[in-house]
């Protein structure tokens, strides 16, 4: 089993936790987690990849073991979470990397790619949405309503996402074999997002999620122009970001590798770890070899 190192860094005055494994001189893969989890969601994937890749998985500020500054001391937005991630990677000396995005990790990963396109060697998206096609209307309607008109009429529906039942549902919906999903996952997430002051952090990010949609046209142009290698691995039963969101990547990246996994849900790694890890290993082996070859070519060749 690969050695996984549990580390902290001081980033812009905040303590940021990250998991790290693999040789630092191997191709780097940055794993960006979603709501309501943390880098803990990658606890089994990291050792499955660390024999071949240098893996970094931070906890976003406000999640997991990273600092949770109060909302009056830190501006919680996807732009600011990207700032922290970008600064962490710079501090660690990571200039080129593949990125794995899931849920909230996607708008952070997309911003990183748009800011520094040449840094991204490949993209793995697992329920990391980039198209209107991916939004399941029944799930997103209360989020859009709260973002557009926050107040006592819309906030209660948004707050339900912080309940134990809602977090359990995120892990189990669409999963053909729910007995494979460790109940510690939703129990830990529920405990963490209900720490004092956490409700205000999460509500702020719910309101800010609408800021991601206007980025999509620029993101699609980045896909078309960069032709970045992309792997989409999606649970067929995901009722948050539906599988049409996975298929949509082919519009802008015709060579994208897309797999919709029967019996899988939103947190696909919990029930289909080996399947996802197998796709990633094959995809990244080819993508990183291509990126290394391209980087080694002389200018003008």
What pLDDT, in 10s, does the model give residues 246-257?
999 999 999 999
pLDDT at 288: 78
For 61-109, write each residue's pLDDT tens digit. 999 999 999 999 999 999 999 999 999 999 999 999 999 999 999 999 9
| CA 83 vs CA 6, 136, 217, 257: distances in Å | 22, 28, 21, 29
Asked if residues 92 and 9 have their Cβ atoms less than 8 Å apart, the reply is: yes
Q: Give the DSSP letter of residue 301.
A: -
- At 289, the pLDDT band (50, 70, 90 cuts) reads confident
**What's the rounded Cα separation, in Å, for the pair 293 and 296?**
5
- At 294, the pLDDT band (50, 70, 90 cuts) reads low
**What's the rounded Cα separation, in Å, for the pair 6 and 30?**
15
| Those residues with Cβ within 8 angstroms of residue 106's Cβ, 6 or more apart along the chain or in another chain | 32, 34, 125, 128, 129, 130, 212
pTM greater than 0.85 (yes/no):
yes
Residues classed as catalytic: 266
| CA 30 vs CA 18, 86, 168, 194: distances in Å | 10, 11, 26, 27
Q: Give the DSSP letter of residue 10.
A: E
pLDDT at 2: 84
For 182-240, write each residue's pLDDT tens digit. 999 999 999 999 999 999 999 999 999 999 999 999 999 999 999 999 999 999 999 99
């Amino acid at each position: 089993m690969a050695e996984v190192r549990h580390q902290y860094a001081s980033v812009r005055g905040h303590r940021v936790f990250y998991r790290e494994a693999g040789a630092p001189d191997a191709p780097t893969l940055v794993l960006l987690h979603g709501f309501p989890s943390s880098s803990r969601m990658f606890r089994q994937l990291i050792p499955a990849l660390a024999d071949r890749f240098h893996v970094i998985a931070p906890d976003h500020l406000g999640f997991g073991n990273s600092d949770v500054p109060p909302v009056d001391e830190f501006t919680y937005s996807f732009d600011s979470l990207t700032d922290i991630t970008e600064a962490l990677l710079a501090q660690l000396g990571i200039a080129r990397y593949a990125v794995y995005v899931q849920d909230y990790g996607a708008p952070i990963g997309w911003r990183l790619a748009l800011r520094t396109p040449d840094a991204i060697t490949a993209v793995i998206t697992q329920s990391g949405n980039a198209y209107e096609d991916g939004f399941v209307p029944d799930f997103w309607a209360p989020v859009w309503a709260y973002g557009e008109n926050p107040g006592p009429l819309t906030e209660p529906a948004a707050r339900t996402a912080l309940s134990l039942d809602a977090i359990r549902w995120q892990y189990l919906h669409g999963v053909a074999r729910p007995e494979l999903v460790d109940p510690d996952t939703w129990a830990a997430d529920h405990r963490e997002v209900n720490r004092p002051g956490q409700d205000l952090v999460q509500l702020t990010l719910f309101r800010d999620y609408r800021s991601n949609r206007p980025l999509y046209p620029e993101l699609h142009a980045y896909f078309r122009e960069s032709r970045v290698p992309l792997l989409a691995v999606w649970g067929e039963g995901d009722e948050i970001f539906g599988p049409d969101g996975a298929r949509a990547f082919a519009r802008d990246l015709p060579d994208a590798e897309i797999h919709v996994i029967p019996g899988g849900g939103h947190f696909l790694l919990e029930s289909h770890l080996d399947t996802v890890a197998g796709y990633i290993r094959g995809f990244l082996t080819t993508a990183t070899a291509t990126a290394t070859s391209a980087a080694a070519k002389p200018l003008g060749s």
